[in-house]
Amino acid sequence: AKLIGIESDEKSVEYANERYGEQGKRVFYCMDMESEGFEAALDKVMSENGVAEFNVINLSWVLMNLRSPFKLLKILRKKLSKNGAVFVKDIDDAYNIAYPDENGYFERAIEICGRDRYAGYRKSGRQVYTHLYRAGFKQITQERLCLTTVGMDSDKRSALFDVTFSYVLEDMKK
């Protein structure tokens, strides 16, 4: 019945509120999830929106960008309803497969992403289970999905490559 979105990028929050926001139903906030005051700020947002606890928490590409994912998960665990669910989508480049990659473009792009300070910790996927468990989540199911070009024709491989690595040039400009 209600969606509360939290994002650290002000422009993304403005866009989301303009495009998807609906008073009383969908609202987006710009917050630093690693700040000392995050829990208090989240409590305020929950109070303002009449939310006592969350039924669903979706963390897409969040943990990979945090210095202390465990700290955030510990806070969110306290805000989750008894039968609530947390969905985590993160990345681990070790699971990605590009075949054929005769020229090594995919492998090289993955290596560049690993050095891109704006691309997050590209091996965080393998740590998600441990972070969740340590934060108090006990019923954990982990699905491993990877990027793969196996069986794709060259047009599809090219499109996957473009979509997957399109941000790299912008990051390199920064």
- As a whole number, mean pLDDT of residues 8-20 equals 96
Indicate if the pLDDT at residue 109 is higher than 90. no
Tell which wins on pLDDT, 91 or 29.
29
Q: What is the CA radius of gyration of the chain?
A: 18
pLDDT given at position 11: 95
Q: What is the pLDDT of residue 32?
A: 97
Given a cut of 80, whether residue 144 has pLDDT beyond it is no
8 A C-beta contact, residue 107 and residue 98: yes
Q: How confident is the model at residue 120 (pLDDT cuts 50, 70, 90)?
A: confident
pLDDT of residue 76: 98
- The pTM is what? 0.82
Share of the chain residues as helix, strand and coil, in percent rounded to the nearest 5: 45, 15, 35
Tell whether the model's pLDDT for residue 71 goes beyond 90. yes
Q: What is the distance between the alpha carbons of residues 69 and 80, in angstroms, rounded to a whole number?
A: 16
Spatial CB neighbours of 66, under 8 Å, sequence gap ≥ 6: 33, 34, 72
- Under 8 Å between Cβ of 35 and 6: no
Q: Can you tell me whether residue 75 is helix, strand or coil?
A: helix
Task: Using alpha carbons only, give the angle 54, 126, 95 rounded to the nearest 5 degrees.
Answer: 120
Q: Is the peptide bond before 69 cis (omega within 30 degrees of 0)?
A: no
